[in-house]
Structure 1
Amino acid sequence: MAFPTLLSLLFSLLLSISPTLSTNSEGNALHALRSRLSDPTNVLQSWDPTLVNPCTWFHVTCDSSNHVIRLDLGNCNISGSLGSELGELKHLQYLELYRNNMGGKIPKELGNLKSLISMDLYGNKFEGEIPKSFAKLKSLRFLRLNNNNLKGPIPRELTTLTDLKVFDVSNNDLCGTIPVDGPFGNFPMESFENNRLNGPELKGLVSYDFGC
Structure 2
Amino acid sequence: MAVAVLLQLAVVVQLLCAVVASALNQDGILLLSFKLSLAGDPLGSLSDWGYTDANPCSWNGIVCDSESRVVSVVLPNAQLVGPVARELGFVERLRHLDLSGNALNGSVPADLFRAPELRVLSLAGNGLTGPLPEPQAGQLRSLRALNLAGNALSGAVPRNLVTLPSLTAVSLAGNFFSGEVPGGEVSPALQILDVSANLLNGTLPADLSGAGLRYVNLSSNRIAGGIPAEMAARLPANVTIDLSYNNLTGAVPTVAPFSTQRADAFEGNAELCGAPLERLCSFASASAVEPPRNGTKSPPAIAAIPQGPHH
TM-score by length of 2: 0.55
Quick check: 1:70–1:93 contact (8 Å CA) kept in 2?
A: yes
Shift of 1:84: 1.8
Question: Which residue number corresponds to residue 187 of structure 2?
Answer: 183
Quick check: 1:109–1:133 contact (8 Å CA) kept in 2?
A: no
CA RMSD of aligned residues (A): 1.9
Q: For the residues of structure 2 that align with 1:186 and 1:24, how far apart are their CA atoms?
A: 38
Structure 1 unaligned residues grouped into runs of 5+:
1-20, 205-212
Q: Deviations over 1:129-183 (max 9, x none)?
A: 1111276101111000000000001111213312211100011000112224223
Q: For the residues of structure 1 that align with 2:204 and 2:59, how far apart are their CA atoms?
A: 44
Shift of 1:90: 1.0
Question: Which residue number corresponds to residue 81 of structure 1?
Answer: 83
Distance 1:143 1:41, change over 3 A: same
2:45 alignment partner AA? V
Which stretch of the first structure deviates more once superposed, 48-57 or 68-77?
Answer: 48-57
TM-score by length of 1: 0.80
Shift of 1:63: 0.3
Pairs within 5 Å for 1:1-150: 24-37=25-38, 38-133=40-135, 136-150=139-153
Q: Which has the higher helix share?
A: 1
Quick check: 1:96–1:120 contact (8 Å CA) kept in 2?
A: yes
**Is 1:166 the counterpart of 2:169 in the alignment?**
yes
3-state SS in 2 of match to 1:35: helix
Corresponding pairs, count: 181
Greater Rg over alpha carbons, structure:
2
Quick check: 1:73–1:97 contact (8 Å CA) kept in 2?
A: yes
Quick check: 1:148–1:172 contact (8 Å CA) kept in 2?
A: yes
Q: Which has the higher contact order (CA 8 A, sep 6+)?
A: 1
Q: For the residues of structure 2 that align with 1:100 and 1:92, how far apart are their CA atoms?
A: 20
Q: For the residues of structure 1 that align with 2:31 and 2:191, how far apart are their CA atoms?
A: 35
Runs of 4+ aligned residues of structure 1 deviating over 6 Å after TM superposition are none
3-state SS in 1 of match to 2:57: helix
Question: Which residue number corresponds to residue 156 of structure 1?
Answer: 159
Which stretch of the first structure deviates more once superposed, 166-175 or 75-84?
Answer: 75-84
1:187 alignment partner AA? I
3-state SS in 2 of match to 1:57: coil
2:144 alignment partner AA? R
